[in-house]
Amino acid sequence: MDHKIIAHGNNHYEVELGHGNLHVYANPEIFQSFESRVYEMADNNLRIPRNVYMGYTPDAHVGVGTCIGTTAVWNMKDGIVSPSIVGVDIGCGMRVHTTSLHRSDIQDKAVRRALITAIEKYVPTNERTNSHYADIDIMNVVQYGLKGLPASYVPNERWLTHVEESDFQYDHAFLEHLPPKIRKNAQGQLGSLGSGNHFIEIQYLELNEEHQELAAKWGLFDGQVVVMIHSGSRAWGAMVGREYNKVLKESMRLWGVSNPDPNLIYAPIVSQEGQTYLNLMYSSLNFAVSNRHMIAFGVQEAFREVFGSGMETPVLYDLMHNYALKEFHRGQPMLVHRKGATRALPPKHFLNTPAYKETGHPALIPGSMGTSSYIMVGREEGLKNFYSICHGAGRTRSRRATKEMVTVDQFEQSLKVGSEDEVMVNHRSLETILDECPQAYKDVDQIIDSVVGASLADVVAKCKPMAVIKGI
């Protein structure tokens, strides 16, 4: 497929496709690596009526119906909502907690192994194991988010304020549309990690010299031990996603609406189907942010077990990268879909949570397993991509292909197994998580270079891995 490409400079390309233009933010090396299928998917997305904007971040790669790494925007008054451009793991996102520890405090492998063991005690990593919070009514959680949690699980006010959103408000009457089994399947999962690319990672920071002052305002210092968490809405969001893909697909058939990609599902925002999906999606976002909160609560308990009851792990920030949210841009309300894309607001932007109004909020970008992650801050220029940046490294090959191409020995080398700087893992056999090795992903440093070069965001700190807890 041939396309006309307009190079705007500064890692910004505009690709003219058959049904509209796609904006791509990538350095030349990453841009050249995109396969034709990502453009085919973009063109299918652009067939959806009245699209205002569509962009790819450098970690973009083929997904179901829509590429992961997509930002797609419609006006609220006459626009479209698409479960396919949200993704099945609704509300999946990142969370970082800080500590007063220095890297040297956990350099001893025995200390790191003790932390891993303690975290597994408090945070279930096996899909078949229920969480430890059976006393929490998940209906309160899906209705009120963090405000629906018992006070005993909220260590202090900061845990409610240093988040992208603590309570996604919607019409709770729409919960009646859900099948009864959704509550049964989700009960017992709050505070559990999930499998796939979800993780808890213990890291230490290397601050960017140019942003030392900002880092200090955020409470960060060189060598600081932090905890990064990646998880989503578990069974609740998965069932909402699957259920309303089916409902909206049937509605499209009845309306006579079609798309070359049968996995691309959408409906008008103002339709009954669109409103039902949006409201239930917000219930999933509430579950997701509460799930990461409870994982973090368990992690703090684990740190206290190893370092004493006075140990505190303040939340730095919590944000999502799979959702559709009403935002105000160009003087009007718009529905911004981000599928594998992270919102990175600049300093003083009115959408910032009050805690980060002046500085801009931390944008949390994970690397692949064994590589660096990043804490970034948005720039004013990010407006051109509706303040969206990457959400990680982005897969470069499937799980199956990874297992066929990469050996356990190569994976061990990536994790520096046997050395003093080994990235320790909770799995006794790396073969069980081989599909999550760094070789399955793009080079995260190239991804970050693309974002910085496009003036979308700046690096505040690099997060170097020391120990990883993965689910099975």
Asked whether 336 and 179 are in contact (CB, 8 A), the reply is no
Three-state DSSP state, 257: coil
What's the sign of the alpha-carbon dihedral 199, 324, 379, 42? positive
Q: What is the DSSP string of 279-311?
A: HHHHHHHHHHHHHHHHHHHHHHHHHHHHH-TT-
Interstrand relation of 342-343 and 315-320 (parallel, antiparallel or unpaired): unpaired
Would you give the distance in Å from CA 405 to the centre of its chain?
Answer: 27
Q: Which of 123, 140, 119, 167 is nearest to 294 (CA)?
A: 123
Instruction: Output b/e per residue, 332-343; b: 16+ Cβ within 10 A.
Output: eebbbbbbbbbb
In the numeric block, which tokens belong to residue 212?
A: 């030392």
CB atoms within 10 A of CB 420: 8
Token pair 């931390």 is found at 362
Instruction: Output b/e per residue, 118-136; b: 16+ Cβ within 10 A.
Output: bbbebbbbeeeeebbbeeb
- Length of the chain in terms of residues written: 472
In the numeric block, which tokens belong to residue 265?
A: 């599902």
Q: Identify the DSSP state of 409.
A: H
Nearest-angstrom CA–CA distance, 73 and 332: 12
Q: In the annotation, is 391 catalytic? A: yes
Nearest-angstrom CA–CA distance, 320 and 44: 25
In the numeric block, which tokens belong to residue 193?
A: 């990690």
Nearest-angstrom CA–CA distance, 84 and 267: 11
337 bridge partner residues: 72, 324
Asked whether 224 and 98 are in contact (CB, 8 A), the reply is yes
Choosing from 23, 97, 337, 391, the catalytic residue is 391
- Residues recognised as catalytic: 391
